């Protein structure tokens, strides 16, 4: 277990955290999940189908009552050994896979219904958005008079999110909100989810089994497996943890945080500073100094002992140090590489063949040039 994971009875400061522990049977399935994470930003609950992600959300919403349960949000205890706040009193906004809008009501009436149900427990910790804010945030102004039947899947989900936000929640629970959408609708809704991330003051728990969604949206991750939490912590550190299954996925990738530092209009290439090193990425626009999240697939990273400047078409060739070498399947290896120094260190993963590993005689601590074939901006 990595990340913060506190036992059932803890007494430290909980004013800025979400703390959850749910244990008990659900038919033949056993849930035994616990995590404590900052109550801010987007936390992805990630794991294979049937591992218990929805069960955790339902426990938080008070819809499943486990034999042993504890939940607190920013110091407010919703359940413990002696208390159980019923579902209708929990200030959660719940967004399901399929938007469950009332078909006989217009979009506007659906939103008003959300508002009527609002029952803030502690008004200072709720989303506190009025209808105009929500309509603007989600771009649903032009849809207000329409019937839900006349909306696209992405539009319906935006209205469902709006309705959930108008109930003044202290936490937004989203259960695979894009699973039922086609690629086009997903791309349409993602910028709105990013806006929620940037503008909402309340934490969002986001269930997904699509790692690309998680890489784009999440700040933190709860990695689940067979009813248990394998790890909980910052997204980047979980993705690049050699002890977790994430680095062994076929499309394993590193997510790096950087800052936009220059834009070259002539070639359309922007410079993103990552751990003190420039990365050159096409098509990135925005204000200088803006935080940028980059994704680099492990199989797009090659390694070399020497890389003289200007001898390759590859734009990104940062110096790196080998941290860990891990076998991957029968013929490949994952190489975990450190970029940057001290507090500004980030991890890059390279996936290379065992043949190259031996040809280069790579060892922990070696200093190398990484050659990165492709870098994409995910946020
Ligand atoms: N009411 C129930 N009674 C008995 N078993 C249940 C009940 N609800 C869920 N389960 C079982 O609990 C397990 C976890 O289900 P859950 O829906 O939480 O998983 P999940 O990770 O969200 O899956 P998916 O990604 O497919 O939605 C599954 O094996 C499921 O069959």
Out of 39-43, 57-61, 167-171, pick the least confident: 167-171
Residue ranges matching CATH 3.40.50.300 in the chain: 17-239
pLDDT above 70: percentage of residues in the chain:
92
pLDDT given for residue 19 in this prediction: 97
- The span from the CA of 18 to the CA of 350, in Å, is 34
- The span from the CA of 333 to the CA of 298, in Å, is 10
Closest-CA residue, ligand 1 atom 30, reads 50
- The answer to whether the beta carbons of residues 77 and 69 sit under 8 Å apart is no
- The span from the CA of 41 to the CA of 17, in Å, is 11
**pLDDT band, residue 119 (cuts 50/70/90):** low
Select from 53, 64, 226 the residue to mutate for testing ligand 1; criterion: most ligand atoms less than 8 Å from CB.
Answer: 53
**Average pLDDT value over all residues in the chain:** 89
Average pLDDT over residues 101-128: 74
- The answer to whether the beta carbons of residues 19 and 43 sit under 8 Å apart is no
Question: What does DSSP assign to residue 85?
Answer: -
Task: Kindly report the CATH class assigned to 17-239.
Answer: alpha beta
pLDDT given for residue 9 in this prediction: 37
pLDDT given for residue 7 in this prediction: 37
Contacts of 245 (CB under 8 A, 6+ apart): 223, 225, 230
Give the start-end residues of each E strand in 128-225. Answer: 171-175, 204-208, 220-225
Q: Which residues line the pocket of ligand 1, CB cutoff 6 A? A: 26-27, 29, 47, 49-55, 209
Which helix (DSSP H) or strand (DSSP E) does residue 264 occupy?
A: strand 253-264
311-370 pLDDT, tens digit per residue, is: 778 999 999 999 999 999 999 999 999 998 877 899 999 999 999 999 999 999 999 999
Q: Which two tokens mark 139?
A: 């771009």
45-57 pLDDT, tens digit per residue, is: 999 999 999 999 9
Average pLDDT over residues 147-159: 92
Vertex 234, ends 228 and 235: CA angle to 5°? 85
Answer yes or no: is pLDDT of 170 > 80.
Answer: yes
For the chain, what is the largest distance between any 2 Cα atoms, rounded to a whole number of angstroms? 68
- The answer to whether the beta carbons of residues 258 and 219 sit under 8 Å apart is no
Closest-CA residue, ligand 1 atom 6, reads 26
**pLDDT band, residue 150 (cuts 50/70/90):** very high
Quick one: which atom of ligand 1 is closest to the CA of 47?
21
- The span from the CA of 299 to the CA of 24, in Å, is 40
pTM given for the model:
0.90
Q: Which two tokens mark 265?
A: 């209009």
Q: How far is the CA of 232 from the centre of ligand 1 (A)?
A: 20
pLDDT given for residue 6 in this prediction: 38
- Render 110-148 in DSSP notation, one character per residue: HHHHHHHT---SSGGGS----HHHHHHHHT-GGGTTS-G
- The span from the CA of 154 to the CA of 141, in Å, is 14
Closest-CA residue, ligand 1 atom 10, reads 26
Residue ranges matching CATH 2.40.50.100 in the chain: 253-377
Q: How far is the CA of 211 from the centre of ligand 1 (A)?
A: 20
Torsions phi, psi for 150 (to 5 deg): -105, 25
Residue with tokens 């955290």: 17
Out of 22-36, 62-76, 119-133, 244-258, pick the least confident: 119-133
Q: Which CATH architecture has domain 253-377?
A: Beta Barrel (2.40)
pLDDT given for residue 126 in this prediction: 59
- Asked casually if ipTM beats, i.e. exceeds, 0.90, the reply is yes
Average pLDDT over residues 145-174: 92
Which of the two residues, 120 and 202, has the higher pLDDT score? Answer: 202
Quick one: which atom of ligand 1 is closest to the CA of 207?
22
- The span from the CA of 248 to the CA of 266, in Å, is 39
- The answer to whether the beta carbons of residues 66 and 57 sit under 8 Å apart is no
368-377 pLDDT, tens digit per residue, is: 999 999 998 8
- The answer to whether the beta carbons of residues 166 and 114 sit under 8 Å apart is yes
pLDDT given for residue 123 in this prediction: 47
């Amino acid at each position: 277990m990595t990340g913060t994971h506190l036992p059932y009875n803890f007494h430290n400061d909980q004013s800025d955290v979400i703390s959850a522990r749910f244990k008990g049977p659900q038919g033949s399935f056993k849930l035994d999940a616990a995590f404590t994470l900052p109550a801010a930003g987007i936390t992805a609950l990630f794991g294979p189908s049937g591992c218990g992600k929805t069960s955790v959300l339902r426990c938080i919403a008070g819809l499943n009552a486990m034999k042993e349960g504890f939940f607190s949000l920013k110091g407010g205890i919703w359940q413990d050994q002696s208390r159980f706040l019923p579902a209708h009193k929990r200030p959660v906004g719940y967004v399901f896979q399929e938007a469950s809008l009332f078909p006989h009501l217009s979009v506007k009436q659906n939103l008003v219904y959300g508002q009527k149900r609002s029952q803030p427990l502690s008004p200072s910790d709720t989303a506190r958005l009025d209808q105009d804010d929500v309509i603007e945030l989600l771009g649903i102004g032009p849809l207000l008079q329409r019937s839900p039947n006349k909306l696209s899947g992405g539009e319906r989900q935006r209205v469902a999110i709006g309705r959930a936000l108008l109930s003044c929640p202290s936490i937004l629970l989203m259960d695979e909100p894009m699973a039922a959408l086609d690629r086009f609708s997903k791309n349409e809704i993602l910028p709105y989810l990013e806006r929620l991330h940037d503008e909402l003051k309340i934490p969002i728990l986001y269930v997904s089994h699509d790692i690309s969604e998680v890489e784009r949206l999440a700040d933190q991750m709860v990695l689940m497996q067979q009813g248990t939490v394998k790890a909980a912590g910052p997204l980047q550190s979980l993705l690049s943890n050699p002890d977790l299954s994430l680095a062994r996925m076929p499309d394993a990738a590193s997510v790096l945080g950087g800052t936009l530092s220059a834009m070259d209009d002539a070639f359309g290439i922007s410079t993103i500073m990552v751990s003190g090193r420039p990365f050159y990425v096409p098509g990135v626009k925005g204000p200088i100094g803006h935080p940028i999240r980059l994704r680099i697939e492990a199989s797009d990273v090659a390694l070399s002992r020497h890389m003289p400047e200007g001898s390759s078409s590859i734009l990104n060739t940062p110096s790196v140090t080998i941290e860990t070498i891990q076998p991957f399947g029968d013929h490949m290896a994952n190489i975990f590489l450190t970029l940057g120094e001290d507090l500004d260190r980030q991890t890059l993963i390279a996936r290379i063949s065992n043949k190259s590993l031996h040809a280069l005689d790579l060892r922990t601590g070696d200093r190398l040039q990484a050659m990165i074939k492709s870098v994409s901006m995910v946020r």
